[in-house]
Chain A
Amino acid sequence: MTARRLDKGGRIDRSRPVSFRWDDKTYGGFGGDTLASALMANGQTILGRSFKYHRPRGIMSAGVEESGAIVSVGAGARHEPNVKATMEELYDGLEAHGQNAWPNVRFDLGSVNGLFGRFFSAGFYYKTFMGLPPFEWGRGTGIWMQYEKLIRKAAGMGTASREPDPDCYDHVHAFCDILVVGSGPAGLNAALTAAEAGRDVMLVEQDFELGGDYINDPGAEAERTALIAAVERAGVRVLTRTTAFGLYDSGVAGLVERVTDHLATPDRHLPRQRFWTVRAGATVLATGAIERSIAFGGNDRPGVMTASAARSYLNRFGVLPGKRVVIATTNDSTLDVACDLAAAGAEVVLADARDNADAPTGVKLRTGLAPLVTHGRRSVQGVTLASRSGSAWAKASREACDLLLVSGGWSPVVNLSSHRGAKPEWKADLACFLAGPTEEPIHMAGSANGIWNRSDCAASGVAAARLAMGEQAEVVAPGGWIRPIRPVYEVRVPGTKAKAFVDPQHDVTADDVHLAHQEGFVSVEHLKRYTTLGMATDQGKMGNVIGLALMAEALGREVPAVGTTRFRPPYTPVAIGALAGRNVGHHFKPLRRTPLHDWNLRHGATMTEAGLWQRPWYFAREGETITEAYIREATTVRDTVGICDVSSLGKIAVQGPDAAEFLNRVYSNAFAKLAVGRARYGIMLRDDGMVMDDGTTWRLGEADFLMTTTTTNAGRVMVWLEELLQTRWSDLRVHVTSVTDLWAGVSVAGPQARNVIAASLEDGTDISDGTLPFMGVAPVTLKGGIQGHIARISFSGELAYELYVPADHGEEMMDLLWPAAKAAGGCLYGLEALGALRIEKGHVTGAELDGRVTIDDAGLGKMASTKKPFIGSSLRQRPELTRADRPCLVGIFPKDRSQTFNGGALLCATNKATGFGEGWITAVTHSPALGHWIGLGYIAGGHEAWAGKTVTATDPVRKGDVAVEIVSPHMFDPEGARMHG
């Protein structure tokens, strides 16, 4: 191939020279070039190495179907493999490298693989290495498991960067009446027709220029320009550099817009790519068609490309791709190519497989011929043609050339309609698949519907738009060539050894397809998986039709009888970053911060995640470890006072005249007669009788309750209550509203709790035991007029209060409470200390209420009313749930009090550490009050059944076995004297 840039012509911007690097050397191009066109203009012929045989590959096309010029672009964290040079827009400073080669694509030691090519047939690895004789003859895959690692290491194309992606990506939602994919003659006309009729239209083009086929024809420029101007005037929303990669349910299309990939120095505020989710009322697919090759010997040699690609390089990029050109064709589409190349000064031979064909003036015509095998060392230097001999081919003559263009026919891009289940249907007279019928509002137009004539394409675009608008339209019939195509899929004569590629990207040859047939494969799906035909980024664009045709021929059937694979999204690869959008790092999930978040951080909190919430874990003093910190905090709470941010607890306003009745049905214990100003601890069950959640509910008024839930289950409980009200008890006049975010809440716990709070209240507010007894609730006013609620409830087992104020006043509340607590020798405490305190008391949380636990298992059976029905009241009495040997909540001490044990360990009878054991440990902590490690867990029969017996906490993958004692879960102050004091 002796390509050169012409002095004039093309659509490139010659006033904008561009410098780029290819394999560490600097080259020049122009604005409007692709990497492929610029490399071609610089005389670079070998741009890649093939997947398996490491054969040299050059530019084979000018579009997304490229299978030769697959390169790596960028450096460092922005290194991206498997970029098609034909789609990479050139920009100043672009850096690209060849891949799958060492030391480089021009001289690749890996090409030694080609010497053993005859052995690397389909299924080679499995046939050779599975059950490797004589070691594993006919049995086992042990050695394969080792070989596989080496094979996998050798396989693959390119290497992704291991560094984090430095770019940002966006998600965008868009809506339109009609989405038009593709901006060729059909797409532009479809968009214009719909927009002029008042429809909201989006037009999507994967290229950086609008026009599709117009772009490659200088004679059509005026028509293209006029259409684009009209489209813009009509208000069409146009997205270039945007690929519609998939169609989904209900008119949803997935698009990827490449925002800055083509910019040398993009603004740092711009995303690299945008992932669009478009919801369209109807979709017009004017996605064009892809020219396909023919399987013949050496059809992958650099200098062999599709015929239309040469026209693109000539007319769009101003590059004459060869001086002596042979065009091997089966159809009329190459006439313009031959004409333009000859006019540009190339010596052109048109080898037409048809017997009756024409050629433009200045083009040498040879009919009834097809390419048999190419010749040349580093690039094509000649081609031997073959003529038809009955049903076979016979070697004919040899033509010298530096560029061989091939047109085996055209494959309409039906991928997107196939995503929606429209099965492609074979059109024998056009030798291609067309989109099958679909019930969805998807309309094919242009060459995507097998229409080869530009004016017909334009008319089909108009018709598709009308159909998309629900109007009547005369459908343009597929076809358009003067002489029919003569389908040619493979050219071979007996004794030919050169490889004929069907799918060059995956090194699948015609021989592989024949071998698959010989070995009994008949299904196209099996053919695909056995040979890897149509896999990888190509997804069947280049080779599918040829592979199917060869299989059909081998089976003696027609192509439709062999079938076709359904295309799946994405049409072209989509970066993982684009899928993730901005939902990465700390935005992977939305973060929830309490109103006291910043205050906690300013006061030394180390935060931890509790679901989506950020909660204080512990407040370490300088030099303290987490263990030292939480033990100090828990000790301080027992000795004086501590303050803990509990804003994340779920809070639900339950309002209405039937609210008490509603709660009475939801909770296992009675709520109907709960007095105003009182709180009650409640357990709610699921329908199946298992515990769902627990918490306190405060009666603020006759028809006004505040339910609290665990942090974890807040959303679930809210949804559950809504479901009950909307589906079961719609007669109840009750509304539930999540007010979790409304309040900043703290727990003030410890012997000094009352004094600390009293010091923070407006003068005269009484929270003495007489006014506010245990489980009492009252409105309260803090200094500064901050109004809130106080409830005397305790999770720690100490004299404790929960104090809630409106969220915006949370920090003011802390600024009142903390000085008072500090003066009393108190502390701030986090989740770790909270856990220690509650374990000492045997209070349950989500660790214990894990969905497998009944109210009796949790030791709370007395809270299940026998005087009223409630959710789960029937099914909790199933025999399996009332067995005496069910695991019940217990406390756990190490036999040797100096020892520790782990949460998650199994509890087993001594010397019977088998199976699931007798129970499990849910939570452990060092107990400051008891001076040794303790735990909570479940064990069959409860603590009475294991009194006086030693149990083994077995933890084989971490700590090993520890002898433990089973005790009551109420390990500290079981009478509750401290919290009632």
Chain B
Amino acid sequence: MADGLSALHDLLVTGQSGVSGPAGVRLTEIRARTVTQFAAWSGTVAQAGAEAAKAAGVQTAPGPGQAATGANGTLLRVEPLKWWLISETEQPVMLSDELGATLDVSQSRSWLRAGGPQSARLLNHVLPIDLSERAFPERSVASTAFHHVGVTLWLDAQDFNLFLPRSFAASLCEILIETARQYGLEIT
């Protein structure tokens, strides 16, 4: 199956806009990836987590609000009983019914990466959570709200990663782009 068409295809036009000078914010859509949800039952968190960790290639599954990156991708703990595995390939790993449930949710989200010196400031225009290094260090994950829409945020070594529900993605991205222009915006 080919890549298909992103919800943001006509919004994220490569280039720089906004105030003059170096761009304070860089926005990039990440396309080639799969997002697999591993959901444990309340009594199987450890075992299901171990399976998810194995799928990601990490030692242990991350705890709530945390991410862990391994050879096969990054595992985000998005809910108390749920992980998302972000990877560049489709995941053959399936939890058994006894351990939990597996679901490919790749195309339900648009993945936007926000970098640059003003990226935290930009995101705090729309996200009501503390994004300071102290409160939200690298490998942090949060389920939060953007204009009343539930979104998932993850900070990797360089950038913030925002997973927007696909149907809302264009509308929310418009707000983000308009807001980002005051800091100088580069879309890559």
Contact = CB atoms under 8 A, between A and B. Distances in A.
Interface stretch (A486-494, A732-740, A792-800): A732-740
Given A170-B179, A657-B97, A741-B167, A808 B107 contact: yes
Contacts of A811: 4-5
Given A173-B124, A173-B128, A737-B37, A269 B147 contact: no
Nearest to A781: B1
Given A269-B181, A810-B5, A730 B132 contact: no
A930 interface: no
A654 to B, nearest CB: 9
B166 A595 contact: yes
Given A173-B127, A735-B39, A787 B108 contact: no
B95 to A, nearest CB: 10
Interface stretch (A13-21, A472-480, A508-516, A582-590): A582-590
B13 interface: no
Contact of B7 (A175, A595, A655, A740): A595
Given A582-B179, A590-B171, A655-B39, A200 B109 contact: no
B15 to A, nearest CB: 15
Interface residues of A, number: 56
Contacts of A648: 167
Contacts of B10: 598
B168 A590 contact: yes
A733 B96 CA distance: 12
A167 to B, nearest CB: 13
Contact of B106 (A267, A647, A737, A806): A806
Contacts of A738: 108
A74 interface: no
Contact of A271 (B81, B166, B172, B182): B182
Interface in A777-810: 784-787, 806-810
B42 interface: yes
A175 B41 CA distance: 35
A536 interface: no
A676 interface: no
B103 interface: yes
B171 A613 contact: no
A730 B42 contact: yes
A656 B108 contact: no
B130 interface: yes
Contact of B125 (A172, A785, A808): A172
Contacts of A807: 4, 7, 107-108, 166
A809 B167 contact: no
Nearest to B123: A173
Interface size class of B (residues with CB under 8 A): 35 or more
A737 B4 contact: no
Interface string B77-101: 0000110000000000000011011
Interface in B28-48: 37, 39, 41-42
A595 B9 CA distance: 11
A653 interface: yes
A2 interface: no
Interface in B130-180: 130, 132, 134-135, 147-149, 165-168, 170-172, 174-175, 178-179
A587 B175 contact: yes
Contacts of B135: 175
Interface in A43-84: none
A171 B166 CA distance: 23
B172 A653 contact: no
Contacts of A741: 107-109, 165-168
A703 B171 contact: no
Contacts of A653: 103
Given A170-B179, A172-B124, A277-B128, A808 B6 contact: yes
Contact of B4 (A170, A200, A655, A806): A806
B42 A808 contact: no
Contacts of A587: 147, 171, 174-175
B71 interface: no
Interface in A406-425: none
A742 B108 contact: yes
A808 B104 CA distance: 14
Interface of B: 1-7, 10, 18-19, 37, 39, 41-42, 81-82, 97-98, 100-101, 103, 105-109, 121, 124-130, 132, 134-135, 147-149, 165-168, 170-172, 174-175, 178-179, 181-182
14 contacts: A173-B127, A591-B171, A655-B101, A657-B98, A730-B42, A737-B39, A739-B103, A741-B109, A742-B108, A784-B1, A785-B2, A806-B106, A806-B107, A808-B107
Given A267-B182, A739-B105, A742-B108, 10 more contacts: A170-B182, A270-B19, A590-B172, A703-B97, A733-B97, A739-B103, A740-B108, A786-B1, A806-B1, A809-B5
Closest 3 pairs (CB-CB, A-B): A808-B4, A655-B101, A591-B171
